[in-house]
Structure 1
Amino acid sequence: MNETMDRAGLGRRVLALRTERGLTQRALAEPDYTAAYVSTVESGKVRPSEAALRHLAARLGVSVEQLVTGRPAHLATELGLRLAEAHQRLCAGDPAQAAAHYAELAAEAARYELVEQRAAALVGLGDCALDTGELDQAIEHFQVAEELLRTAPLPQRVPALRGRAVAHLLAGDLRYSCYLLESAIDQLNASGLPDPQALLLLYSAVIAPYLDLGAHRRAAQAAELALALAPQVADAALVARLHRGVARTLLAEGRAAEADASLAKAQELYQQLQIRTELAHCHWMRGYLRAQDGDLPAAERELRTARELLSGPQSDRATLYTQQIDVELADVLHRSGRTEQASALLADLLDSLHPGRGAVHAGAAHRLLGRIAEEHGDPVAAETHYRAALELLQGAGAVADLADLCRLLGDLLRRAGRVVEALDVYRGGLGHQAAPGTTTLGPAPAVPPS
């Protein structure tokens, strides 16, 4: 805002407040100033000195900040409380209502030029969009929040940056998600005074794309560094998210009992905090763990519990997370002998999951449909699904699943007598098995200074 506009706005506020209180210009001015001086202020011809501002504010019964900016007293504090209420609505599993509150708060903060509060509301809107699977909207909200905070210290920008990385991960852009998170980690560590909470948020977020990319060593290292930071962080929800991420690395290493213990810690914290979405993620992972152990009835119970938490009475539409859980549930149904139910569930998902929305799980759905087609003696359909899965996973860079998929497709081609094609596919699979993650990512982020 330029100086002329600033003087004009201030003058209008002085005039409005004086009229509202029934004061004359002389009554407002005395004893230190003249009515003529107040007239020049109200007309925007002069900007009062600091002493004059204090005098006018005291006579009008407002703070100097309210007189200068037009912001109601304690507005920033009030917006902070309302942001916490909106966050609680989101935690309770009501993203639509939470988004309406966040949008209102973002508009109010913009009107009064409260940058930090507006950015926080936009991050909240981004989180709501993640919950409902509207990934383009989520990315836009997070980007605007980052732009608003571009001159702020990096730790203040981390929640928005982390949100944007998660949105790109869900959209299937694994490498870019890693790039965003690793770059921020390096910047924080290079600053000399890394922020423990910001680092924990970033390390917890980078575990998922690392695992999907097959970079298991990096995922394990991120989990180890995050666990070391946890005692310095008071945010229970963030610590719970850490334990959920650690559980994923333990599962990848075949340490099922330790993974289950880590999930139990996360689940207990989420239950105390009443965060439905994150609690659903814990049940989802426990369902996967039970399926890996061969306990299919327990796996189905956990996955259906996760699904109910995400599509409870306050939610009127399926989320991207719900659809991803359904892919896991379909696998359990197939392994339980209910192949027709599994196929129907997967067929319903394929229109909703695609390269820009849940590409990794879309690939898993096609892979499972390919296996089902093989079992039903339909090699043409099986090949179609395997190749669709291959295209999705290659586009996303999901190296962790490509080697096994290449084996399935190669075996199918070999049995059909297409040996040369099968060899090409096998070679591709062997390439994905070599040094997981090291061929797709740059140097690992620096370790925090001790």
Structure 2
Amino acid sequence: MAKRDDPETIGRRVQRLRREQGLTQRQLAEPAYTPAYVSTLEAGRVRPSDEALRHLAERLGVAFDELATGRPAHLATDLRLRLTEAQRTLTGGDTGNAAEQYARLLTEAEEHELTEVEADALLGLGECALESGELATGREYFERSERTLADAPLPARVPALRGRAVSHYLAGELRYAVYLLESTLDELNRGGLHDPDALLLLYASVIGPYMDMGAHARAAQAAEFALALAPQAGDPALVARMHRSVARTLLAEGRIAEADASLAKAAELYRHLQLRTELANCHWMRGYVYAQNGELERAEEELRAAQDMLTARRAALYTSQVVVELADVLHRRGKSEEAGDLLRQVLGDLHSERGAVHAAAAHRLLGIIAEDTRDTEAAEEHYVRALSLLERAGAAGDLADLCRLLGDLLRRTGRVEAALDAYRTGLGHRTAPGTTTLGPAPAQPPL
């Protein structure tokens, strides 16, 4: 395909516009150039200078950029404005409409070879896919966005890299998600590419996988870096997302009040920005905080609010994950039958390739509920399924707890050797949380 700025393409463009204006080559050329120069240019035998293009554009009554690239005047600006509108649609909760807007933008950006707009449209389509739980589709969009920006500096590619890592994380591929995020952090920090927004986005995103892998010390360090970077970051949405992620680490350290305060800051920012999914996630996390603190009634209120908001956004995967948290609270409040019904409903949306950690949590809780009703056979089946999911995901901290539950069940049913094996497996994961799956920590940012 001919490039927009090669001499032949520009020559044909000049000739077409000249004829549309009813001008001769002499009328177009004068007073600065000769008819012979215009003839040579139109034939594609000479590359016009910017000065010549400006003269020709003025005579033809078009913008310099339009003559040089063939793109309609102000097209790039118009597409940028429409990108912002698509982003607002997505953050307002209308994922389907946002996806349609991004798809139209992508078509126009590809047609006019506007690389940055193309990459942003692909990024938006990836985010829409994550919202609706289409993880493989989302990953493909993020990969295409990365390829489109292959020649751009690393900080420009970070949102697409982060999206790809999140899609792997949500699919239960914790190790690979951490590898992607850590290797990108290393490349930024060791290469001196200290972009605050890019670093904050990566550190906030890696906290969840760290926590699920049992690497609490590394999660705490990432939270520390994220908090230190927050004042330098230009995007309030990133700061809000960071506060939500940091709250999880504070909670793991038993700092309940600080976690709640961090979530309150995030919720206020998201409310201001109208980022509905992220606001729903704040309710989700607050519910988790209250549950850990034994405030079960408040936990249920927050989790139901999150569920309603995510259901309204048709964010299927996130909704299923919240339901697992809600079921745990309901069970602890003595509503085990309702909890069991909810878990069985969402298990169809969760599996080893999609939300593995929460699928394991659902089976774990169903096992506990089965034990409460003395159905040891069903309990064991659920525990074994959960164990398989967690082993695949590498969620070390959860594995240790599950091995204890399974070991206790096996011991009570007289299978002492099998129980010992389960306990040993659990101890292996508890000995050094996270260290069996993670290499050296990434390089530190200059704070």
Interval of TM-score (by shorter of Structure 1 and Structure 2)? over 0.9
Q: In the TM superposition, what is the alpha-carbon distance from 1:230 to its structure 2 partner?
A: 1.1
Distance 1:154 1:83, change over 3 A: same
Deviation at 1:104, TM superposition (A): 1.2
TM-score, scaled to structure 2 = 0.96
Question: Which residue number corresponds to residue 402 of structure 2?
Answer: 405
Give the C-alpha shift of residue 352 in structure 1: 1.0
Given the superposition, is the C-alpha separation of residues 158 and 39 from structure 1 closer, same or farther in structure 2, using an over 3 Å criterion?
A: same
CA distance in 1, matches of 2:437, 2:315: 33
| Paired position in structure 1 for 2:378 | 381
Tell me the residue number matched to 1:9: 9
**In 1, are the aligned partners of 2:403 and 2:422 still within 8 Å (CA)?**
yes
Match of 1:160 in 2: 160
The runs of 5 or more residues in structure 2 that have no matched partner are: none
- 8 Å Cα contact 1:355/1:392 also seen in 2: yes
CA contact (8 A) 2:5 2:68 kept: no
Change in CA separation of 1:272 and 1:330 when aligned onto 2, cut-off 3 Å: same
Letter in 2 for 1:338: K
**Percentage identity across paired residues of the two chains:** 66
How far has the Cα of 1:329 moved from its partner? 1.2
Partner deviation per Cα, 1:333-378 (whole Å, 9 max, x = no partner) = 2222222221111111111100110000000000011111111121
Q: Is the 8 A contact 1:182 1:445 kept in 2?
A: yes
Residue 302 (structure 1) shift:
0.6
The equivalent of 1:425 in structure 2 is 422
* Cα offsets for 1:392-449 (capped at 9, x unmatched): 0110001121111001111111111111111000000001111111111000011123
**Aligned residue in 1 for 2:21:** 21
1:346 to 343, 346, 364: 343
Deviates more, 1:339-348 or 1:321-330: 339-348
| 2:248 paired with 1:243 | no
Which residue is equivalent to 1:304? Answer: 304
Aligned-partner Cα distance in 2 for 1:84–1:300? 35
Q: Give a deviation string over 1:259-312, Cα, whole Å, max 9, x none.
A: 111111111111111110000000001111222222222111111111121122
Report how far residue 72 of structure 1 moved: 1.7
Q: Given residue 323 of structure 2, which amino acid in structure 1 is its aligned partner?
A: D
Structure 1 residue 108: Cα displacement: 1.2
Q: Contact (CA 8 Å) 1:8, 1:43: kept in 2 or not? A: yes
Q: C-alpha separation between the residues in 1 aligned to 2:205 and 2:187?
A: 16
| Alignment check: 8 A CA contact 1:165 1:181 kept | yes
Q: Is the 8 A contact 1:54 1:64 kept in 2?
A: yes
Alignment: residue pair count: 447
Aligned-pair CA distance for 1:5: 8.8
Q: Which moved more, 1:56-65 or 1:351-360?
A: 56-65
**Offset of residue 106 of structure 1:** 1.5
Task: Give CA-to-partner distance per residue, 1:162-218, whole Å, 9 cap, x none.
Answer: 111111100111011111111111111112241111111111111111000000000
Kindly indicate whether the alpha-carbon contact (under 8 Å) linking 2:5 and 2:69 is maintained by their aligned counterparts in 1. Answer: no
- Where does residue 362 of structure 1 map in the other structure? 359
- Give me the whole-angstrom Cα distance separating, in 2, the residues matched to 1:302 and 1:411: 33
Distance in 2 (alpha carbons) for counterparts of 1:283 and 1:291: 12
What is the CA deviation profile of residues 96-146 of structure 1, one whole-angstrom value per residue up to 9, with x for unaligned ones? 111111111122111111111111111111111111111011111111111
Provide the residue aligned with 1:448 in structure 2: 445
In structure 2, C-alpha distance between the alignment counterparts of 1:84 and 1:331, rounded to whole Å:
39
The answer to whether the 8 A contact 2:2-2:9 is kept is no
Counterpart of 1:282 in structure 2 is 282
Alignment deviations for residues 75-100 of structure 1 (CA, whole Å, 9 cap, x no partner): 22222211111111111011111111
2:393 equivalent in structure 1: 396
The 8 Å contact of residues 155 and 193 in structure 2, kept in 1 or not, is answered as: no
Gaps of 5+ in 1: none
Rounded Cα–Cα distance in structure 2 between residues aligned with 1:437 and 1:183: 17
Q: Measure, in 2, the Cα distance between the counterparts of 1:228 and 1:413.
A: 47
SS class of match (1:351): helix
Q: CA deviation at 1:51?
A: 3.6
Question: Where does residue 336 of structure 1 map in the other structure?
Answer: 333
Query: How many Å separate the matches in 1 of 2:21 and 2:359?
Result: 65
Report SS of the residue matched to 1:152: coil
Residues in 1 aligned to 2:46 and 2:73: alpha-carbon distance in whole angstroms: 24
Q: Find the aligned partners of 2:45 and 2:446 in 1 and give their Cα distance.
A: 55
- Aligned counterparts of 2:275 and 2:315: Cα–Cα separation in 1: 18
Name 1:77's counterpart in structure 2: 77
Contact 1:168 1:176 in 2 (8 A): yes
